[in-house]
Amino acid sequence: MAINYDKLMSLKTQGQEFQYGERETMLYALGAGFGRDPMNTKELPFVYEKNLVAMPTLATVVSWGAGNMRESGINYLMVVHGEQKLTLHRPMPVAARISVDTRTIGAWDKGEGKGAIVVTETVISEKGGNKICTLESTTFARGDGGFGGPREGAPVPHTLPARAPDQTVELDTRPDQALLYRLSGDRNPLHADPEIAALAGFPRPILHGLCTYGTCARALVTSVADYDPSRITGFDVRFSSPVFPGETILVDIWKDGSIASFRARVKERDVVVINNGKCTLKG
């Protein structure tokens, strides 16, 4: 089934309800790499119910499965996560009953054999209350070019500064990290099953892109935000290449006022895995 542009642009859901609690908040932080040193009292509030705080990027998993994009006609065997944007209207609660609205906000045709770009928006609010955050997710549908949609106007990524990074944060990933992170929602076997990974052309299961995203958020929270996640009001990235669990991630950071630009590299292979990162800070 090919993409039907009009149908794709009409896709939306409203008022889907989800609930999460302290357990999910702590599990997500563990999956992003917090708590490796149980004596690190600065990281403990992310993984221990005493004075618990939530990561901003918890927003990417609390409504996992929302929406109806499976009705879009996209060939999901050929998709990759292109970009992820997050705007926080208030700090993420550590537990909440939430209401979720989703819609398609754009689709661009790169041409036959060149794929398509589809952007969806997810708005998360406390049930009966105010907005918590807005997510924009860009899907690169490699097998769906030539559907007749617009060619121009696709999102332009944030530009990194031309100077050398102001600092680099080095973070390890564990060999079993994908198995832990998938418990937060994304059960795609590509991240757990060696046979499925081989069919996809990988020598072993890969880390979730959103786990790498959360790991980058950990780097920014623990450096420019001084362990205060409420200081982060936006977190945008472009995905470049997968990480294999067990590799070391180097996060290069440029600080310019309330904007911290960043990119992430795998130390062992010198490959950029996240690019054009933009972290927006209060004040």
The model's pLDDT over 135-180, given as tens digits with 9 standing for 90+, comes to 999 999 888 888 888 998 888 999 999 999 999 999 999 999 999 9
Nearest 10 degrees: Cα torsion 26, 30, 34, 37? 110
Residue of 191, 208, 236, 252 marked catalytic:
191
pLDDT at residue 102 greater than cutoff 90:
yes
Does residue 71 share a domain with residue 185? no
Flag whether 181 is in a domain: yes
Between CA 229 and CA 232 the distance in angstroms is 6
How much is the pLDDT for 108? 95
Give the pLDDT band (50/70/90) at residue 67.
Answer: confident
- Please confirm, yes or no, whether 191 is among the known catalytic residues: yes
Does residue 194 share a domain with residue 75? no
Flag whether 233 is in a domain: yes
| 3-7, 230-234, 279-283: which is most confident | 230-234
Does residue 227 share a domain with residue 135? no
How much is the pLDDT for 1? 54
Does residue 174 share a domain with residue 134? no
Cβ count within 10 A of residue 80: 13
Residues 108-125: what's their mean pLDDT? 94
Flag whether 147 is in a domain: no
| Domain membership of residue 228 as a residue range | 167-281
Flag whether 121 is in a domain: yes
Does residue 237 share a domain with residue 117? no
Cβ count within 10 A of residue 127: 13
Does residue 238 share a domain with residue 112? no
Flag whether 247 is in a domain: yes
Number of H helices, E strands in the chain: 6, 10
Between CA 256 and CA 165 the distance in angstroms is 11
Q: What is the CATH number of the domain that holds 118?
A: 3.10.129.10
Between CA 204 and CA 227 the distance in angstroms is 33
Does residue 89 share a domain with residue 24? yes
Reported as half-sphere exposure (CB side, CA atoms, 13 A), residue 200 has a value of 21
Residues counted in the chain: 283
How much is the pLDDT for 148? 86
Do residues 127 and 97 make contact, with C-beta atoms less than 8 angstroms apart?
yes
- Please confirm, yes or no, whether 186 is among the known catalytic residues: yes
Does residue 175 share a domain with residue 137? no
How much is the pLDDT for 23? 98
Residue 94's SS3 state is coil
Last residue of a domain, one of 106, 141, 176: 141
Work out how many domains the chain is built from and give that number: 2
Residues 3-30: what's their mean pLDDT? 95
Angle ∠(96,176,77) on CA atoms, nearest 5: 75
pLDDT at residue 224 greater than cutoff 60:
yes
Residue of 101, 144, 186, 252 marked catalytic:
186
Flag whether 259 is in a domain: yes
